[in-house]
């Protein structure tokens, strides 16, 4: 059974906007990469049931994620 992952856009003020739920790890990574090319904001892929950050793109230059954890 494929897990579901949630894609979030993180704005400079730390607020998060849910963008999509994606089924399957490979498809989720693909959509994260595609969405990251359409925004300059940080984008995160999360597995919400475990509150696990799977991947992040467009992170700040110093490599630290913005201070926001998307909540369901």
72 within a domain of the structure (yes/no): no
The mean pLDDT of the chain is: 89
pLDDT recorded at residue 60: 83
Q: What is the pLDDT of residues 10-35, one digit of tens each?
A: 999 999 999 999 999 999 999 999 99
Q: Residue range 27-51: average pLDDT?
A: 97
d(CA 31, CA 29): 5
d(CA 60, CA 23): 27
53 within a domain of the structure (yes/no): yes
Strands 42-47 and 52-57: antiparallel
Cα-only R_g, the chain:
11
65 within a domain of the structure (yes/no): no
40's tokens: 């300059």
Look at the chain and report how many structural domains it folds into. 1
pTM over 0.75: yes
Q: Tell me which residue range forms the domain holding 8.
A: 4-57
């Amino acid at each position: 059974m494929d897990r579901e992952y949630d894609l979030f856009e993180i704005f400079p003020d730390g607020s998060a906007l849910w963008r999509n739920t994606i089924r399957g790890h490979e498809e989720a990574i693909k959509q994260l990469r595609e969405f990251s090319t359409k925004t300059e904001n940080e984008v995160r892929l999360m597995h919400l049931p475990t509150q696990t950050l799977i991947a992040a793109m467009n992170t700040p230059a110093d490599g630290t994620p913005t201070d926001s954890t998307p909540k369901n």
